Structures are given as structure tokens and as C-alpha cells.
Homo-oligomer: A and B are copies of this chain.
Amino acid sequence: MSIQVTFHALSDPTRRAILSLLQSGPLNAQQIVDRFDITNATVSHHLSILKKAGLIIDDKQGKYIYYELNTSVLDEIIGWFSSLTGKKEEQNEK
């Protein structure tokens, strides 16, 4: 997975909104559909792109697949930006 794919995934506002939604914890596809005025197919498409980009991971629990933020990839991205602004050390302290 490349950072190029990751940034492409992040360029879409609905996908960023899905990530923000997952901030409070894992959700299944239907729970995500319920929060947006878009179809199941569209949500599935966005989830697939976010997953390929490494931004979310899925976890099958019984008959549902739950999606959650991939914090290790998000931390890597934060690290990259922080290194640009010279805040790498502060970031790594936590």
C-alpha cells in the first residue's frame, strides 16, 4: 500500500466524513449508511477504498463486518507531517 493511494482516498469529503464517524469507535456498514444520505453501494465503495488505502481495518463479528480506524497508519501520516513542521520529537514523546 502506498501513501499515494492513502492521500487519494483522503481527497474525498465523504471518505473523510466516514473516518471522522469512526473516531468514536467501530461501526458496521449499515450503521455508516444510517448516518449518511447515500446508498449502501456508495458506502461499500468508499469503505473499500479506505481499506485499500490502509486507513481502516475490518473485523468480522458474527454476521457483521465492523470497520475501525487503522491508527498505526494514521500515526505514520501524522509522523510524516510532523517531521515537515519539525514536531517529530514532540509527537513521538506521547
- Each complex incorporates copies of this chain amounting to 2
What are the residues of chain B within 8 A of A84 when measuring CB–CB?
A: 19-20, 22-23, 69, 74
> Which among A11, A12, A16, A19 has the greatest number of chain B C-beta atoms within 10 A?
A11
Chain A residues touching B, majority SS: helix
B85 lies within 8 A of A69 (CB) = yes
Nearest-neighbour CB distance to chain B for A75, whole angstroms, equals 6
Flag whether A49 is at the interface (Cβ < 8 A).
no
Measured in the bound complex, the distance between the Cα atoms of B59 and A77 in whole Å is: 28
Binding site for B on A (CB under 8 A): 3-4, 7-8, 10-13, 16, 19-20, 22-23, 69, 71, 74-75, 77-78, 81-87, 90-91, 94
